[in-house]
Amino acid sequence: MAIVPGFDYDLFVSYAHLDDQPPASHLQGWVKILVQKLEIEVRQRGFKNFKVWSDEQLAANIPLTPQLMDRIKRSAMLLVVMSPSYLESKWCGRERDEFLGLAEERVAKGCVFLIEARPVNATEARFPGPFRDLVPIPFWTDDPESQTDRLLGVPNPDEAQYITRILKLSHLIKQQLDQMVKPQVAPYVTPGPAVEVGMVFVARATEDLEDREDELRSYLEQLGIAALPKTRYPQTGAEAYETAMLEDLASCKLYAQLLSASRGRELDFAACKRYPCFQHEIAKKSGKPRLLWRDRGLDMVSVKDPDHRGLVQAAQVSSFEDFKRAVADEARKPPPPPPRPSLNANVMVFVSADSGDRTLARQVGKELALRGVECFYPLESGTPDEVREDLENVLQNCDGVLLIYGSAGPDWVRFQYLFNRKMSAKRDHPLRTLAVFQGPPPEKIDIGADIPNLRILDCRNGLDSSKLDEFAKALQQ
């Protein structure tokens, strides 16, 4: 039985017969080697009973029998080895529709994995529709000697880049198995200050930097930072691609892009456009912060294309580890404070006064209201709990506090200051100003504190308009 409850197989592998031909007479088929290595990796990741079924009948283009379709239905996940040979499969219409119907159900659940054995064009009419939004893992590379594409793992099945792609695929399968098998228990996190984390848009890298791109995505995910895109964008035209990318960028906090001397392949759906510059042009339109990286060892003389050279020259030159940390730091950076009102906008001040100074507080408040300052006072009725709740609400939302020091004693002023200091921890933004209004009588006992930035309005001999003007202007600025 499979690991996933209700299924006989955990993974069904669909591939073309030609893609499994041994590259040499003494070697196994390419797909067979890949599946063997993948099985070992998934089992070593905690799923020792991981069960795979390869569709050898389908691979040989034998019709999809009811028995074979039943095996697909009884498989929890589907791995498709996409290639030009795969697209040449000669299934009849009914069989193809039935197979793709099953695949589409699994795509919606995240249970389909797509790898490319050879480059394919997702805009081709024969490309299966359910797979068009999936981001494939390429198992091929550009070979500088032959100047064409080459299967990874050929002729060396221990090739580093090939093993890296298998590790990535096994990790994705393991994550899906975790969701389907293991109960999801939220990890205990020690309480601490809340940090707002934004998503990161990781631009599609050129073939020589795909492993670096995967490394950046994995690093961010380990820190709890989601990375977009999750799906492949429409390949029908530049406008459709741009619309989809801008929609993802709107959800992201920043844009990250890795650059090398390679200017990338020309886009099939946009003449004279190449991925690095095309993506960056769209990112600029989004207005999001952009972090670009290139390796210290990159020789700028090797960058011939002027547009690509300008993009590369704008990139950060650092170690990749430093760049990864910079991206994570930017994603976790707190948002900027909300814009303050313009000079003439009304602001709200809490005028706090003891019972003996409430008449004086009202006089001061009326003068401030003439200067565009909204004034609130302590409630004079209600239960103690109601009065305290209202006080805390006003202190969390006001722009400034004015303590009336008239007939009250210095202990009242000290208590009010300390209470406001305590309440500051519950505010979304700091007070613009905290001030003490010294009113009659002229003789005042020192409150016994030296407080930086505490504004004193000396009106002990009566209301001073210039002092109130200064206070209102400081609030409004």
CATH of the domain at 381: 3.40.50.2300
On whether both 219 and 167 belong to a single domain, the answer is no
Does residue 188 belong to any structural domain of this protein? no
What is the rounded average pLDDT of the residues 125-149? Answer: 85
Evaluate if residue 369 carries a pLDDT over 60.
yes
On whether both 148 and 239 belong to a single domain, the answer is no
What is the rounded average pLDDT of the residues 271-295? Answer: 93
What is the rounded average pLDDT of the residues 127-136? Answer: 86
pLDDT tens column, 282-292: 999 999 999 99
Does residue 121 belong to any structural domain of this protein? yes
Q: Would you state the pLDDT for residue 138? A: 92
Does residue 442 belong to any structural domain of this protein? yes
On whether both 143 and 75 belong to a single domain, the answer is yes
On whether both 207 and 258 belong to a single domain, the answer is yes
> Residue 29 belongs to what domain range?
1-182
pLDDT tens column, 417-465: 998 888 887 888 888 889 999 999 989 899 888 888 889 999 998 889 8
Does residue 38 belong to any structural domain of this protein? yes
On whether both 172 and 307 belong to a single domain, the answer is no
Q: Would you state the pLDDT for residue 191? A: 47
Counting Cβ atoms within 10 Å, is residue 223 exposed (0-12), middle (13-18) or buried (19+)? middle
pLDDT tens column, 39-77: 999 999 999 999 998 765 454 445 566 777 788 888 999
Q: Which long-range contacts (CB under 8 A, 24 or more apart) does 192-199 make?
A: 195/332, 195/334, 196/332, 196/334, 196/335, 197/224, 197/225, 197/331, 197/332, 198/225, 198/252, 198/253, 198/254, 198/331, 198/332, 199/225, 199/226, 199/227, 199/228, 199/251, 199/252, 199/253, 199/331
Q: At what angle do helices 238-250 and 275-286 cross, to 10 degrees?
A: 50
Q: Would you state the pLDDT for residue 59? A: 47
Q: How many residues does the chain have?
A: 477
Does residue 342 belong to any structural domain of this protein? no
Q: Would you state the pLDDT for residue 114? A: 93
pLDDT tens column, 168-187: 999 999 989 988 887 655 44
Q: Would you state the pLDDT for residue 53? A: 84
Residue 235 or residue 282, greater confidence? 282
Q: Would you state the pLDDT for residue 430? A: 85
Tokens of 454: 């505490």
What is the rounded average pLDDT of the residues 385-414? Answer: 91
Number of domains the chain contains = 3
Per cent of the chain over pLDDT 70 is: 90
On whether both 173 and 265 belong to a single domain, the answer is no
The pTM of the whole model exceeds 0.85: no
What is the rounded average pLDDT of the residues 273-300? Answer: 93
